[in-house]
């Protein structure tokens, strides 16, 4: 199965995998100092680096969950 439909939004396997890679690269850039927390979550946070890391982690988990659901045999085929 190469696509999954969640609440009317269709996600392809390629899109999901590219999003995981993008967020992992963003996390690496944030931790190495290549980007600032402001570029990830904006301004106004007291612990902006922590908030940015949490936001990135949540997005990685979201797309990894979509990928695992797509790989599951319980997922009905989408046409």
CA–CA distance, 69 with 51 (Å, rounded to integer): 27
Helix, strand, coil % over all residues of the chain, rounded to 5: 60, 10, 30
Cα distances (Å, whole numbers) of residue 28 to 33, 53, 56: 9, 10, 10
The answer, yes or no, to whether residue 31 has pLDDT greater than 70, is yes
Comparing 17-21, 24-28, 66-70, which segment has the lowest mean pLDDT? 66-70
pLDDT, residue 17, reads: 95
CB atoms within 10 A of CB 60: 18
Task: Concatenate the DSSP letters of all residues of 3-20 into one string.
Answer: EEEETTEEEEHHHHHHHH
The answer, yes or no, to whether residue 29 has pLDDT greater than 70, is yes
Q: 61-77: per-residue pLDDT in tens?
A: 999 998 888 888 555 55
Nearest to 2 by CA among 73, 74, 61, 71: 71
The answer, yes or no, to whether residue 15 has pLDDT greater than 70, is yes
Kindly indicate the confidence band of residue 6, based on its pLDDT and cuts at 50, 70 and 90: confident
């Amino acid at each position: 199965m190469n696509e999954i439909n969640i609440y009317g939004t269709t996600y392809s396997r390629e899109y999901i995998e590219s999003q995981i890679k993008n967020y992992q690269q963003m996390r690496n850039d944030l931790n190495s100092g290549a980007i600032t927390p402001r570029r990830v979550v904006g301004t106004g946070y007291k612990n902006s680096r922590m908030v940015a890391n949490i936001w990135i982690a949540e997005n990685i988990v979201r797309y990894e969950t979509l990928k695992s659901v797509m790989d599951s045999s319980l997922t009905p085929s989408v046409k």
